[in-house]
Amino acid sequence: MTRFSLDDLRALPKNNDLRLGRLLPGGWTILVGAIAIAIATPILFVFANIFAEPQVSFGQDNTTSLWQHLAETVLGDYIQNSLVLMLGSSIGVLVIGVGTAWLVVACRFPGSGIFEWALLLPLAVPTYLLAYTYTDLLGVAGPLQQAIRDWLQVSYGEYWFPSIRSMGGAIALFAFTLYPYVYMLARVAFLEQSGCTLEASRSLGCGPWRSFVTVALPLARPAIAAGLSLVMMETLNDFGTVQYFGINTFTTGIYNTWFGMGDRVAASKLAAFLMLFVFILIVLERFSRRRARYYQSTGSDRTVPPYQLTGIRAAAASLVCLLPCAIGFLLPAGILLKMSLDNLQTFDHRFWELSQHSFGLAVATAILGVAIALIIAYGVRLQPNALMRFSARVASMGYAIPGAVIAVGILIPMGNLDNSIDAWMRSQFGISTGLLLSGTVFALIFAYIVRFLAVSFGTVESSLNKIHPNLDAAARSLGHNTTSTLLRVHIPMMASSLLTAGMLVFVDVMKELPATIIIRPFNFNTLAVRVYNLASDERLAEAAAPALAIVLVGIVPVILLSWQISRARQ
């Protein structure tokens, strides 16, 4: 971290030399409040549509609204399938994430040092890519079933094989893709637990399993619950997997209602129901631990020697940690690499054009996201009152909202604004302005910022809080205003954290599918949309190249997290 002395601060340009407009603390309050209102507008609009009048245009007599038809036919399926996906994925994620985290922290076995970071690799692969690759591998025409038929000399229908394109297959893919969220937080929680506590459990005769169940697991509950809530939100946000597997959920319902049936009100009502699901999850998670208190002892740095596993136990532990890595990353990445090498012609001008679209959107969103996050975090630092903290919380709540909901909340008000401007220009000047905002790159970037601002804000706020307030006071005493202090002192000290925040937003934008496929301008595709379109047409070989590019980009934050884990272990 960069260190500043008093002489360094005196050498900085003063206000008169900077030629920058002064932004007083009151100005930061207004700015942060305006950002919070802008971020919250799409979400509030979706909620407001719960009470909107439905369009009466469905049925032979044109007296039944589409929303009423959806409520009577498929709404129950949307609710049931979403709940089953969340619960099934949560169970799988808990078993894999918590189990592997405890193994690498509390035990030593062959490969345990490698698995500490390798278990994060599935974060690089979006769930919908796993769905496409495993369908190609395990489908009826895939190599595995073909080998079974050749080996047993049977035909299709004469043997049983589980269908990957099913609810069970979707739950399995979600579990093997999303478990790193729980693994990361659970592992940190286990590492931070007091060595004296675990050593006391051992002295009382507790083995590895009993110490885990009675001591380590209860203490790690807050971290596990936080990771599990992220998993549930990501499951609700998914579109590519459930659409490809033919599972009706809220995200597929929103897309089909908007584009297939042309009813914006019904689509917004479905989006509001999906938001209610998310808020209920948050409230239940916090209510479940409202009176619980978790304290970690920090008075001793002593760590308990890990259990040394040998023989069958060591082999079993290695296999348990290897399977999630292989299923969630190694196997699909290998399949995509082979398919890409077998179809080098797919790396044509179209591929590079889509790469430029995705890269440009990701870079623009990352820069804007980090800048906005820095403004909000610095505003809270200047005036840490209730209003500023509330505004920061509102501005960073978009990550809990599925991309399909944000898309609906942006397109409808922007479309109404465009129509109003166009009507006014026609009446006053006889000029048609068309669509100025909706269906543009601007709307798409705005959706990304609403969705992923929380990712950059968390990193920026954490870094800014590490800078001692005395440094601000010293800069002010030497004549530097708030803007000068931020630009000349804080930003240089936070350079690495700002880069990390931008990188995380960059990767999330590259992988985002629901919001992109709904908001994108006409004839403007990204790598994620291209993969979805090709996979939907069963052209998986052509989809391999853009899918592999998304995976390679996703490895970047995994490498960063792995490096941080290695430093923590040292």
Q: 549 lies in a domain?
A: no
For residues 366 and 369, give the distance between their C-alpha atoms in angstroms, rounded to a whole number.
Answer: 5
Give 506's pLDDT tier (boundaries 50, 70, 90).
confident
Tell me the CATH number at 366: 1.10.3720.10
Whole-number Å distance between alpha carbons of 545 and 111: 31
> Given this model, what pLDDT does residue 201 score?
61
pLDDT score recorded for residue 174: 93
Domain count, the chain: 1
Q: What is the pLDDT of residues 362-373, one digit of tens each?
A: 899 999 988 998
Tell me the sheet residues that pair with 56.
65
Is residue 445 a contact partner of residue 368, using CB atoms and an 8 Å limit? Answer: yes
pLDDT tens column, 338-369: 888 888 777 778 888 888 888 889 899 999 98
pLDDT on residue 221: 76
Q: Please, which residues bridge with residue 307 across strands?
A: 107
Does any domain span residue 94? no
| Predicted pLDDT of residue 13 | 46
What confidence score (pLDDT) does residue 295 get? 45
515 belongs to a structural domain:
yes
Domain contains 475: yes
Give the whole-number percent of the chain exceeding pLDDT 70: 81
Name the average pLDDT for the chain: 78
Nearest to 509 by CA among 334, 363, 297: 363
DSSP state, 345?
A: G
The reply to whether 453 falls in a domain is yes
Instruction: Work out whether the CA dihedral 317, 319, 322, 324 comes out positive or negative.
Output: negative
Question: Which residues have CB under 8 Å from 14's CB, separation 6+?
Answer: 478, 479, 480, 484
Q: What is the DSSP letter of 526?
A: -
**Would residue 124 count as lying in a domain?**
no
> Considering the chain, what percentage of its residues have pLDDT values greater than 90?
8
Q: Is residue 160 part of a domain?
A: no
Report the candidate in 560, 505, 521 with the shortest Cα–Cα distance to residue 368. Answer: 505
Helix or strand (DSSP H, E) at 256: none
Which residues on adjacent β-strands are paired with residue 64?
A: 58
What is the arithmetic mean of pLDDT over 122-139? Answer: 86
Judged by DSSP in three states, 446 sits in helix
- Structure confidence by residue, pLDDT tens digits, 140-183: 877 888 888 888 888 877 778 888 888 999 999 999 999 988 88
Give 516's pLDDT tier (boundaries 50, 70, 90): confident
Q: Measuring CA to CA, how many Å separate 428 from each of 227, 425, 432, 436, 499?
A: 55, 5, 10, 18, 48
- Note whether 406 and 398 are within 8 A (CB): yes
Task: For helices 264-288 and 75-93, give the axis angle rounded to 10 degrees.
Answer: 40
User: Domain range for residue 405?
Assistant: 1-9+23-51+343-536
**C-alpha–C-alpha distance, residues 142 and 165, integer Å:** 13
Determine the pLDDT at residue 176.
Answer: 93
Name the residue among 49, 41, 65, 40 with its Cα closest to residue 269.
49
Q: What pLDDT was estimated at residue 263?
A: 72
- Domain for residue 457, yes or no? yes
Structure-model confidence comparison of residues 48 and 120, the more confident one: 120
pLDDT in tens, 369-393: 889 988 888 888 888 788 888 888 8
Give me the half-sphere count of Cα atoms (radius 13 Å) on the Cβ side of residue 408: 36
Q: Is the dihedral of CA 386, 387, 393, 397 positive or negative?
A: positive
Q: How many CA atoms lie within 13 A of 90 on its CB side?
A: 17
Please give, one letter per residue, the 3-state secondary structure of 461-518: HHHHHCCCHHHHHHHHHCCCCHHHHHHHHHHHHCHHHHHHHHHHHHHHHHHCCHHHHH
Type of residue at 22: R
